[in-house]
Amino acid sequence: DYRLLLATYSDVEAAGEDDKDRTDAIAAACQSGGDFVGNYYYQFQSNPSSLEVEETKHTSGRTTRGLRMSMGFNTFLQNTALPEWFPLSHLELGRQQVLDTLGMKKDGKGSLVWDQSARGDLMTKPKIEEEPLLPIESRSRYRVVVVGGGIAGLSCCLELFQVCERDGIDIEITLVEGRSRLGGRLWTDRSTFKSKKSTATASVEENFPVDLGASWIHGIESNPLAAMAEEARVDFVRTSEEVTMLREKGEIIDHTRDERAGELFDRLLDIAVQRCWRREEASQDGSGGRPAVRWYAKDLKSPTHNSESISYVEPQRMRTGAHRDSADTSVDEAIGKVVSTEQMKEIAAISEEERRMLKWNVKNVEYALGANITDLSMKYWDIDERHAFEGDHVVLRQGYSCVVEHMLAKLRERGGRFTCLLGSPVKRIEYGRKTLTNPYFCPSQRHKHFVELSETCRVECDNGTTISGDFAVCAVPLGVLKDSIRQGGDDQSSGLQFSPELPFSKTDSIESVGFGLLDKVYVQFPTAFWRTKRVFNKYGQTLFGNASATNPEHYMFLDVGLSLGKEGCFPPVLMVLISGTEAVQAECLSEKELVESVLKTLKTLFGDQIPEPSAFKVTRWGRDRFSRGSYTYLPPGTTDQDLRLLQTPINSNGDSVLLDASETMRLFFAGEHTTTLHPSMAHGAMLSGFRAAKEIASSLVVSSKHIVTDSIIPLSLFRQMNPKAKLTCAFCHLTGQRVREGTLLAFKKGSRQVLSHLSCAETCPEVAIKDGVWSNVISACNRAKSVPCSLCGQIGAAVTCASEMCGRSYHFGCAEDTGWRFENEGKDFYCDEHRYLIEENRKISVEYWLLNAAAGTELACALCGKSNVMEVGQLELGQLLAFQQGARRVLVHEGCLRYTTVAPVAEVASSRFEKDFDNVFGAIDSARTCSRCARAGATIGCAEPGCENCVHFRCARALDWDFKKNRRYRCIPHRESNDGKSIADTFQHALFSPLAAEPTKDVPANLDVGTDLQMPEEDKALSSQAETFRNEKLNEYQGEPVDFRLVSLTRGSIAERWNLKLNAAIDQSTGCRLLSVAGEGAHLEADLHQGDIICTINGMTVGSPALDTIEKVLKILSQEVDLLMEVCSGVDDVWR
């Protein structure tokens, strides 16, 4: 039990770091003679006069008085220069035993000295073997060693030179790469494939470049990688995303079915992710993160071992530690739950062909991350898309290697200050060596204090080469890092080693984050047998998909020759992508076997007569010892915080995320796995290099001011350090991540660590966030510990009223329960007594309503007049919800609101509140007298046109109306004739849709979570009448080429615009304004036909109370700005 002196404090208040409870605990520990408080041991450095003296009764009956043993030992410490290795566990020894152990005695003056005569075998002081400081090479500039010559390493070198040159700092950089080339996973093959170019005199054969690694630049607007490619004079090629889906014998799958399968899959994804984020984190079971493949190439050997004979091993699914328990799940499991709980007609009646199309959409997701959906986090699988660059996605005609060569040429302009070592695999990276130092002087910045020159870092290569420097950058792929920390294995000794070993914070994320695998197979043929107008029926199209039952892993083919060829020279070269588990299996095949499997797929699609290939190229990124995979993904149990941990620099004392900001970091990290915004992207790797360079540049200067801030540490790291701590917010005391309060964050300041929800922390008045740096979170927690909430009465209230005359405080959630919305009104909160009246419809809590209600006021619904919950038949009225508008506050049952028709009321999908509705007061003001009970407050009208009957929700239920089967209420006289109304009255608007779907088979794409996606029974009946109506209309136009189609307007998600554009025109014969389609390109022109009749718009039937006027239709289509601008002016005189 060795204890290390970490700090001394002037008093217990300073040791308590402004935390009263902690201060009291430390004072009590010191008064007792010394004890632990949390993870740290505290005792007085000098004895206060108030310290209690302990009486000891001996067996002889004699009583002695003195300090307790630990304090007596403390007195001993004050008078003795102890060696730093002295173990405090010797406290249980007697005083003389301690002196004998140390070889010490009292001199004549009562002081302790070393007793050389008594311990002749000891020297004056115990010898502590310390390594002498290592010598340093005489130099006048900083030296940085970058390990890894991919785009991350190259961009780090470039940026570091530019930053240092701008600041006048002299620096030299050595780039070390294990391969014989630079670029890493950016690699262009320029020799395998040929293209023939005919001239007036002869046919010239040229090399045709193809990219074996990254191919695309995703989004070229403001993308630094695109800017670098343009600087390298590389041609951008914009490729069409249109894919022709082929099945056996080259039959083309109907485009409508293709789109429908894609929309269904997108809808399943959206519902699944919404549910996953709303699930409480408290569902942890202590077993750790869900099992997932976290490294697909783990069991694949390097080609140097045995290049063509590897037995296939199923990628191993691994759990993480208990500190990574999470409510997160895999994409596969989450979608499976949606399918099992949502009774979607498409799923129930899906054909085998449509099932294949769904699988194709699954493979399209898997290709993007190199992993199967069984291993992708439902919450974070698409994290890169959230920060994607705008603009076209392009491929590079000359290949990515041109960009690499351009960057290398820019580096070589630095002359002797840049050195590049190729073919030098790195064996060991040291980043904590103790060396002599030399001062660094910067003439242009005399006022700054720079870190002294040293050789703290050293890189050792397999060939014996060593390079020492002040700093090192590790820019190797995540797969190589995984290889470096793997336990066991035949080739463990060949992995990269670190000295000292990487801290737990780093290794835990390295093990937990996933590294996927994507391989390519290029095949060149004598002829391009697939290039037919039937397959490529649109200009610029170069993709066709495999929807057959043969080799579904070959899900898509790209005509590379057609994409990248030019000037009439388009070589017949195809590329197929293989990802995840199938890529592991493919790497276990020989090249011949793999190419034969691709040919088998092509023969299924185009027939057995296809020619034999003239050339091919196969990638094996999993077996490449310098990559060990393709790119990063996040499996269940990991978050974007892990990517932050992978990027944080370290020194010999640990990770910067836990260390004091004043420490100089020595080892920095770059690569696509170290960017929180663009993981798995080539531009993400480039940006990570820029970031690492700036971190090094900022480390060169020693700051004279030591500003202590509140740093955020990953929640998984907090849980590992505090395994028994509850995941409870220090402010609101609610557990886990919550929809309303936000993500649970872990904050650290000094030795203090607290948990807080994002919204709870950022709405505290004293908390500041600047450039991503938080301050005053810990002090806000300390202040709120004794402050009760003015609404709920619990302590932890940190949101104070901004009025100087007010002393009220609230939790974040309680503040919003009073009707305040921080995103609208701002951070300066005002309680209801000091704020202006908010005229918007706001949901409040029932507790807040009660606080403002008169004494004795009954809890009752403003519509039906009934109390909290009342069961009627099989359906409840639901809970009472409270709303406020201005000075008005009301209670309304959920059921009374949800089925209201007298005014447009809808659940607000974007609200952080559950069961939040808009226009509540409009519904109350529009309420009528109930036709059943004759009481006021009825808001559910009969759907029969012209019928004035209106009822309460409970009265409708008492009349046996089942809202689950049909949301559109009908009174008893109009039920038998469900539809004594003409179908022509229902489908009255001759609008148009880009989807030619039969309404009986189409389910609108309404993605609001909780929405019933089943088609109501009445809508099915209306669909039947619609068919009759259609036939009647066709009979009227006998002999004329008119085709009435019944369609539904939909959109892919609530964030997308409707795929529709309308124009308002004047009919010369009647003078009326008519709506007509304005086609937007060939796609719409091909699919839209005048005369199409709208049945539903995202689940609501046209002609129902919700959609019985064109104004209501336009409100739903409000995101289509063009439509509003062109139509609204004619609404009054046409559609009134």
The pLDDT-based confidence of 36 (bands split at 50, 70, 90) is confident
Contact by Cβ (8 Å): 788, 809: yes
If you compute the radius of gyration of the chain from its CA atoms, what whole number of angstroms results? 36
Q: Strands 711-713 and 667-669: what pairing?
A: unpaired
pLDDT of amino acid 1066: 54
Is the pLDDT assigned to residue 842 strictly greater than 80?
yes
| Cβ contacts of 485 within 8 Å, gap of 6 or more | 502, 507, 510, 511
Sheet holding 216-218, edge to edge: 216-218, 393-396, 236-238
Confidence of residue 133 (pLDDT cuts 50, 70, 90): confident
Residue 178 has pLDDT above 50, yes or no: yes
pLDDT tens column, 1034-1063: 555 455 444 445 555 655 444 455 555 555
pLDDT at residue 276, as a whole number: 85
Amino acid at 26: I
- Is the CB of residue 297 less than 8 Å from the CB of residue 517? yes
Whole-angstrom Cα distance, residue 805 to residue 830?
A: 11
pLDDT attached to residue 659: 82
Q: For position 113, what pLDDT does the model report?
A: 59
- Supply the pLDDT for residue 567: 78
Q: Lowest-confidence range among 113-122, 593-602, 679-688?
A: 113-122
How far apart (Å, rounded) are the C-alpha atoms in residues 46 and 53?
Answer: 15
> CA-to-CA distance for 1028 and 629, rounded, in angstroms?
59
DSSP state of 235: P
Residue 257 pLDDT grade (very low, low, confident, very high; cuts 50, 70, 90):
confident
Mean pLDDT of the chain: 79
- What's the average model confidence in pLDDT over 95-104? 57
50, pLDDT greater than 90: no
- State the pLDDT at residue 621: 96
Closest C-alpha among 433, 430, 410, 431 to residue 420: 410
**What is the distance between the alpha carbons of residues 470 and 144, in angstroms, rounded to a whole number?**
6
Within 8 A by CB and 6+ apart from 1111, the residues are 1131, 1135
Whether the CB-CB separation of 283 and 388 falls below 8 Å is answered with no
Q: What is the pTM of this model?
A: 0.71
**Cβ contacts of 206 within 8 Å, gap of 6 or more:** 194, 195, 196, 197, 569
For the segment 215-252, what is each residue's pLDDT rounded down to a tens digit?
999 999 999 999 999 999 999 999 888 999 999 988 89
Three-state SS at 837: coil
DSSP H stretches of helix in 868-952: 894-898, 920-925
pLDDT value of residue 1081: 38
Which residue's entry shows tokens 């239920």? 957
Lowest mean pLDDT among 426-435, 487-496, 1078-1087: 1078-1087
DSSP 8-state code for residue 548: S
**What angle do helix axes 95-102 and 69-78 make, rounded to 10 degrees?**
40
Query: Which of 261, 244, 263, 262 is CA-nearest to residue 253?
Result: 244
pLDDT confidence bin for 1103, thresholds 50/70/90: low
pLDDT band at residue 22 under the 50/70/90 scheme: confident
User: What dihedral angle (degrees, nearest 10) is formed by the CA atoms of 142, 148, 149, 152?
Assistant: -80
- Read off the pLDDT band of 999 (50, 70, 90): very low
Q: What is the pLDDT, as a whole number, of residue 99?
A: 58
CB atoms within 10 A of CB 152: 34
Q: What are phi and psi of 769, to 5 degrees?
A: -130, 115
What percent of the chain stands above pLDDT 90?
Answer: 44
Most confident of 55-69, 218-232, 305-319: 218-232
Identify the pLDDT of residue 78. Answer: 43
Consecutive H or E run containing 365 = helix 352-369
pLDDT of residue 1071: 52
- Nearest one of 811, 767, 759 to 790, comparing CA atoms: 811
Mention every residue, 6+ apart, whose C-beta is less than 8 A from residue 726: 735
Q: What is the pLDDT of residues 705-764, one digit of tens each?
A: 656 678 888 888 898 888 888 889 999 999 888 878 888 899 988 778 999 999 999 999
| Mean pLDDT for the stretch of residues 1120-1127 | 43
DSSP per position, 252-286: BPPHHHHHHHHHHHHHHHHHHHHHHHHS-GGG--S
* Contacts of 889 by beta carbon, 8 Å cutoff, 6+ apart: 844, 849, 852, 853, 882, 883
Residue with tokens 């209690």: 52
Higher per-residue pLDDT: 1104 or 670: 670
Burial class from Cβ neighbours inside 10 Å (0-12, 13-18, 19+) for residue 858 reads exposed
800, β-bridge pairs: 809
d(CA 256, CA 1119): 24
